Amino acid sequence: MNKVIKISGMHCQGCVGLIRMELADGGLEEKIKDVRLVGDMLGEVELQNASAEELAQAEKIINKIEGYHTI
Protein backbone atom coordinates (compact mmCIF):
# COMPACT_ATOMS: atom_id res chain seq x y z
CA MET A 1 0.00 0.00 0.00
CA ASN A 2 1.27 3.46 -0.89
CA LYS A 3 1.51 6.20 1.71
CA VAL A 4 1.52 9.93 1.01
CA ILE A 5 3.29 12.57 3.08
CA LYS A 6 2.22 16.19 2.53
CA ILE A 7 5.00 18.78 2.70
CA SER A 8 4.70 22.53 3.09
CA GLY A 9 7.39 24.78 1.65
CA MET A 10 7.71 23.12 -1.77
CA HIS A 11 7.32 25.57 -4.66
CA CYS A 12 9.44 24.41 -7.62
CA GLN A 13 11.08 21.45 -9.34
CA GLY A 14 14.27 22.19 -7.41
CA CYS A 15 12.33 21.43 -4.22
CA VAL A 16 11.16 18.15 -5.73
CA GLY A 17 14.75 17.20 -6.52
CA LEU A 18 16.00 18.19 -3.06
CA ILE A 19 13.36 16.13 -1.25
CA ARG A 20 14.02 13.13 -3.50
CA MET A 21 17.80 13.41 -2.95
CA GLU A 22 17.52 13.75 0.83
CA LEU A 23 15.22 10.72 1.08
CA ALA A 24 17.54 8.69 -1.16
CA ASP A 25 20.54 9.72 0.96
CA GLY A 26 18.56 8.54 3.99
CA GLY A 27 18.23 5.05 2.52
CA LEU A 28 14.67 5.33 1.20
CA GLU A 29 15.37 5.54 -2.54
CA GLU A 30 13.68 2.22 -3.32
CA LYS A 31 10.53 3.31 -1.45
CA ILE A 32 10.01 6.56 -3.39
CA LYS A 33 7.22 6.22 -5.94
CA ASP A 34 6.78 9.94 -6.64
CA VAL A 35 7.63 13.41 -5.38
CA ARG A 36 5.36 16.11 -6.78
CA LEU A 37 4.07 19.65 -6.41
CA VAL A 38 0.35 19.80 -5.64
CA GLY A 39 -0.34 23.44 -4.90
CA ASP A 40 1.03 26.78 -3.79
CA MET A 41 3.95 25.96 -1.44
CA LEU A 42 2.67 22.38 -1.10
CA GLY A 43 4.07 19.07 -2.27
CA GLU A 44 3.71 15.35 -1.68
CA VAL A 45 5.95 12.34 -1.39
CA GLU A 46 4.39 9.00 -2.25
CA LEU A 47 6.15 5.99 -0.74
CA GLN A 48 5.43 2.44 -1.84
CA ASN A 49 5.28 -0.49 0.57
CA ALA A 50 6.78 1.62 3.37
CA SER A 51 6.67 0.35 6.93
CA ALA A 52 5.65 2.60 9.82
CA GLU A 53 9.33 2.98 10.68
CA GLU A 54 10.23 4.01 7.12
CA LEU A 55 7.36 6.49 7.05
CA ALA A 56 8.57 8.01 10.34
CA GLN A 57 12.13 8.12 8.99
CA ALA A 58 10.96 9.96 5.85
CA GLU A 59 9.08 12.52 7.93
CA LYS A 60 12.11 13.05 10.16
CA ILE A 61 14.37 13.59 7.13
CA ILE A 62 11.96 16.07 5.55
CA ASN A 63 11.44 18.02 8.78
CA LYS A 64 15.22 18.46 9.18
CA ILE A 65 15.46 20.33 5.86
CA GLU A 66 15.26 24.08 6.45
CA GLY A 67 12.07 25.58 5.04
CA TYR A 68 10.13 22.31 4.74
CA HIS A 69 7.87 20.47 7.14
CA THR A 70 5.35 17.68 6.98
CA ILE A 71 1.70 18.46 7.58
Identify the CATH number of the domain in which residue 56 sits. 3.30.70.330
20 has a pLDDT exceeding 90: yes
0.75 exceeded by the pTM? yes
Question: What is the predicted pLDDT for the residue at 35?
Answer: 98
Q: Under a CB-based contact definition with an 8 Å cutoff, are residues 59 and 5 in contact?
A: yes
Number of domains in the chain: 1
Average pLDDT, the chain: 97
Q: Which domain holds residue 6?
A: 2-70
* Alpha-carbon 62 to chain mean position: 6
